[in-house]
Amino acid sequence: MTSTVTPVLRVSELSKAYNGILALDGVDLDVRPGEVHALLGGNGSGKSTLIKVLAGVVAAEAGAHLQIGETTQDLSGWSSEKAYAAGLRFVHQQPAVFSDLSIAENIAFGTTFPKNRVGKIDWKALNARTADLLKLFGVEASPTTPLGALRAADRTRIAIIRAVQDRDDATSGVLVLDEPTAALPAEEVEHLLDSLRRYAAAGQTILYVSHRLDEVLSVADRVTVLRDGKKVATVEAKGLTGAALVELIVGRPLGQMFPEPTDAPAADVVLSACRLRGGPLVDVSFDLHQGEVLGIAGLLGSGRSELLRMVF
- pLDDT tens readout for residues 54-66: 999 999 998 999 9
CA distance 252 to 26: 22
Quick: pLDDT tens for 113-127. 889 888 899 999 999
Nearest to 240 by CA among 258, 272, 216: 216
Q: Same domain, yes or no, for 177 and 289?
A: no
The CA distance from 284 to 238, in Å, is 41
- Same domain assignment for residues 223 and 292: no
Torsion-angle region of residue 310: left (phi > 0), alpha (psi -120 to 50) or beta? alpha
Residue 3 lies in a domain: no
Are both 183 and 42 inside the same structural domain? yes
Residue 256 confidence (pLDDT) above 70: no
Whether residue 74 is contained in a domain is answered as: yes
What would the pLDDT profile of 152-175 be if each residue is shown by its tens digit?
888 888 998 898 887 765 567 899
Q: Decide which of 182 and 233 is more confident.
A: 233
Residues 29-54, mean pLDDT to the nearest whole number? 94
* Domain of 136, in residue numbers: 9-256
Please report which confidence band the pLDDT of residue 263 belongs to, taking 50, 70 and 90 as the band edges: low
Distance separating alpha carbons of residues 158 and 156, to the nearest angstrom: 5
For residue 274, being part of any structural domain is answered with yes
Alpha carbon 25 to its chain's center: 22
Residues comprising the chain, all counted = 312
Q: Is it the case that residue 257 has pLDDT exceeding 60?
A: no
Residue 108 has pLDDT above 80, yes or no: yes
Q: Ramachandran region of residue 280, left (φ > 0), alpha (ψ -120 to 50) or beta?
A: alpha
> pTM value?
0.76
Instruction: Tell me whether residue 191 is in a domain.
Output: yes
Would you say residue 58 lies in a domain? yes
Could you give the number of structural domains in the chain?
2
Mean pLDDT of the chain: 87
Q: How far apart are CA 160 and CA 154, in angstroms?
A: 10
pLDDT at 105: 94
Same domain (yes/no): 249, 277? no
What value does the mean pLDDT take over residues 184-193?
81
Q: Can you state the angle between helices 152-164 and 186-201, rounded to 10 degrees?
A: 30
Q: Are residues 191 and 301 in the same domain?
A: no
59 is a domain residue: yes
What average pLDDT does range 283-287 have in this prediction?
90
pLDDT of residue 21: 92
CATH of the domain at 205: 3.40.50.300
DSSP the chain: --TTSPPSEEEEEEEEEETTEEEEEEEEEEE-TT-EEEEE--TTSSHHHHHHHHTTSSPPPTT-EEEETTEEEEGGG--HHHHHHTTEEEEESS----TTSBHHHHHHTTS---B-TTSSB-HHHHHHHHHHHHHHTT--S-TTSBGGGS-HHHHHHHHHHHHHTT-SSTTSSEEEEESTTTTS-HHHHHHHHHHHHHHHHTT-EEEEE-S-HHHHHHH-SEEEEEETTEEEEEEESTT--HHHHHHHHHSS-GGGSSPPP--PPP--EEEEEEEEEETTEEEEEEEEETT--------TTSSHHHHHHHH-
Same-domain status, 172 and 276: no
Stretch 261-284: mean pLDDT: 83
- Indicate whether 294 pLDDT > 80: yes
Asked if residue 90 belongs to a domain, the reply is yes
pLDDT above 70: percentage of residues in the chain: 92
- Using alpha carbons, select from 91, 97, 87 the residue that is nearest to residue 178: 91
Give the number of other CB atoms < 10 A from CB of residue 138: 13
Separation between Cα atoms, residue 73 and residue 80, nearest integer Å:
13
User: Distance (Å, rounded) from C-alpha 107 to C-alpha 166?
Assistant: 11
